[in-house]
């Protein structure tokens, strides 16, 4: 083989490689399938692992249940996401001015309500891979504590603004309106402290140091959901 013929063969091979890669699998054998439904409503439930704040006064984890809505934004890999959930929780009534051994007066139940909105990035775009759709979500929201009887320490969870991040995967069978999803989400919000938490009493340490008026905490939820799709893209 002459040098010219070898160069011509090498050049034709290099050109043919990208063309072959573009051919890929036939549509029937491709692992990717179009996801036809543009909107989804999910019923979700799962355990919550509420992060402990600095003072130990915030509501702790329980069971979360609620609903989520997703709307794909045109032909982009983005979707608008919103959710409304309730979390069962318990928290300690703290007693400022008491020794550490007597600091917790009692434990009460206090549910939390979350409303979140954000954007979801569909990592496989408008298609599923082997019927799976991985995704990540980020957004903002509010957390509200259910009313409780008067707290002697004057602690009040109130309504808190925060943000959340989420990673999930959905199993969407071909040609089915129903699918299931699993999500791991983290909400971050600041827990407010009353001035009584930094009061000084002889022989009893402060609950929090002077000048500390809040503490950021993380609320982690592992959920599963039943999803109903509707509407054409």
pLDDT at 7 over 90: no
The CA-based diameter of the chain, rounded to the nearest angstrom, is 98
More confidently predicted of 17 and 161: 161
Q: Quick one: DSSP state of residue 97?
A: T
CA distances from 52 to 46, 88, 91, 155, 187 (A): 19, 15, 10, 15, 13
What distance in Å separates the CA atoms of residue 35 and residue 72, rounded to the nearest whole number? 11
What distance in Å separates the CA atoms of residue 147 and residue 112, rounded to the nearest whole number? 10
Q: What is the pLDDT of residue 5?
A: 53
Q: Report pLDDT digits (tens) over 114-131.
A: 999 999 999 988 787 888
pLDDT at 136 over 80: yes
Q: What is the b/e burial string over 18-39, where b = at least 16 CB atoms within 10 angstroms of the residue's CB?
A: eeeeeeeeeeeeeeebebebbb
Q: Quick one: DSSP state of residue 102?
A: G
- Count of Cβ atoms closer than 10 Å to residue 187 Cβ: 25
Angle at 108 between CA 103 and CA 100, to 5 degrees: 10
Least confident of 17-21, 160-164, 224-228: 17-21
Q: Report pLDDT digits (tens) over 33-87.
A: 777 778 999 999 999 998 789 999 999 989 999 999 999 998 889 999 999 999 9
What distance in Å separates the CA atoms of residue 122 and residue 181, rounded to the nearest whole number? 13
Across residues 219-229, what is the average pLDDT?
95
Q: What is the pLDDT of residue 10?
A: 37
Across residues 211-215, what is the average pLDDT?
93
Helix-strand-coil percent breakdown of the chain, rounded to 5?
Answer: 10, 55, 35
pLDDT at 27 over 90: no
Q: What is the pLDDT of residue 76?
A: 87
Q: What is the pLDDT of residue 183?
A: 97
Nearest CA-CA partner of 216 in 151, 152, 143, 153: 143
179 with 170: CB under 8 angstroms? yes
What distance in Å separates the CA atoms of residue 151 and residue 167, rounded to the nearest whole number? 36
Q: In terms of residues, how long is the chain? A: 233
Least confident of 16-30, 98-112, 132-146: 16-30
Across residues 153-164, what is the average pLDDT?
93
Q: What is the pLDDT of residue 93?
A: 92
pLDDT at 24 over 70: no
- Count of Cβ atoms closer than 10 Å to residue 55 Cβ: 23
Per the listing, tokens 């109130």 go with 158
114 with 88: CB under 8 angstroms? no
pTM value is: 0.81
Question: In whole numbers, what is the pLDDT of the chain averaged over residues?
Answer: 85
What distance in Å separates the CA atoms of residue 139 and residue 141, rounded to the nearest whole number? 7
Per the listing, tokens 């979700």 go with 44
């Amino acid at each position: 083989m002459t040098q010219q013929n070898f160069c011509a063969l090498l050049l034709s091979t290099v050109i043919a490689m990208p063309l072959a890669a573009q051919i890929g699998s036939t549509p029937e054998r491709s692992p990717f399938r179009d996801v036809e439904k543009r909107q989804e409503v999910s019923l979700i439930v799962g355990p919550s692992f509420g992060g402990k704040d600095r003072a130990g006064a915030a509501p702790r984890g329980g069971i979360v249940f609620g609903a989520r809505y997703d709307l794909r934004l045109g032909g982009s890999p983005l979707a608008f996401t919103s959710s409304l959930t309730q979390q069962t929780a318990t928290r300690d009534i703290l007693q400022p001015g008491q020794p550490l051994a007597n600091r917790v007066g009692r434990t009460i139940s206090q549910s939390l309500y979350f409303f979140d909105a954000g954007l979801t990035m569909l990592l496989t775009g408008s298609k599923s891979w082997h019927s799976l759709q991985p995704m990540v979500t980020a957004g903002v929201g509010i957390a509200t504590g259910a009313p409780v009887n008067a707290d002697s320490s004057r602690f009040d969870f109130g309504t808190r603004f925060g943000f959340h991040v989420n990673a999930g995967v959905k199993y969407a069978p071909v040609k089915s309106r129903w699918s299931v999803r699993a999500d791991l989400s983290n909400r971050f919000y600041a827990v407010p402290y009353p001035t009584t938490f930094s009061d000084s009493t002889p022989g009893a340490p402060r609950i929090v140091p002077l000048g500390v008026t809040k503490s950021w905490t993380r609320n982690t939820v592992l959920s599963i959901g039943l999803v109903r799709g509707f509407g054409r893209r």
